[in-house]
Amino acid sequence: MAPRPIYYDTETTGLKPSRDRIIEIAAYDVEKDLTFCSFVNPEGPIPSESSAISGITDEMVKDALPFNKVGPAFAEFCSGDVVLIAHNNDNFDKPFLENEYSRAGHPMPNWLYLDTLKWARKYRPDLPRHSLQILREVFGIEANQAHRALDDVYILHQVFTRLIDDLSWDDILRLMNQSSEISRMPFGKFAGKPLSDVPKDYVGWLAKSGAFDKKENTALRDQFATLGLLGG
């Protein structure tokens, strides 16, 4: 059985997980249709430049619980066989979680993770940029309060739903973790289709558009060449 997807997001006092702190964390459990959202007291002042981005001020978090109290509640919300999904997960949200759980002296659950930024870069090289707000605009999703955790989580869920189309979670995790062997089209109008079923003229169009010039699509290009759908 595939893990249960939980979309999540963190707002922080800065960009360095080893130094900065989480000030808000939110999550959306799609299967259970439940949400988690909590301010986190960083036990220190929030820099003005961070407040300018997130809109979260010292006054808003002064009565919030510190992470050593919020962390266990978040872990309980994300209990079971789950995959935590965030945009720039590997370089931002996950390291912040790891540092916060370490500071609090709590063991961090052994979750699976999926980085939707890496997915978008890997399987939608046709897009010039892959920030969450750019993807929102590309897919025509209505704007909400950007840079607040739960709002970003809802946007992320809608964006990733469009990125994956009708792929199963087994296929999603396999595609995200694969290194070179590709059997199904990972993006575009034929996403999820066996590579052998992708029309040759579409493969040619991808080549002319520069999609295969991206290093993340080298394996896809080679597989199309092996199938005789590219070159020659």
| β-sheet bridge partners, residue 194 | 184
Angle at 65 between CA 63 and CA 67, to 5 degrees: 145
To the nearest 10°, the Cα dihedral for 111, 117, 120, 122?
-80
User: Helix H segments across 105-178?
Assistant: 116-123, 132-138, 149-164, 169-177
Q: Does residue 175 contact residue 184 with C-beta atoms inside 8 Å?
A: yes
| β-sheet bridge partners, residue 178 | none
87 tagged catalytic: no
Of 176, 98, 134, the closest CA to residue 187 belongs to: 176
> What is residue 89's DSSP assignment?
I
Catalytic residue, chosen from 87, 106, 147, 157, is 147
| DSSP SS3 for 85 | strand
Q: How far is CA 78 from the centre of its chain?
A: 16
> Which of the residues are catalytic?
147
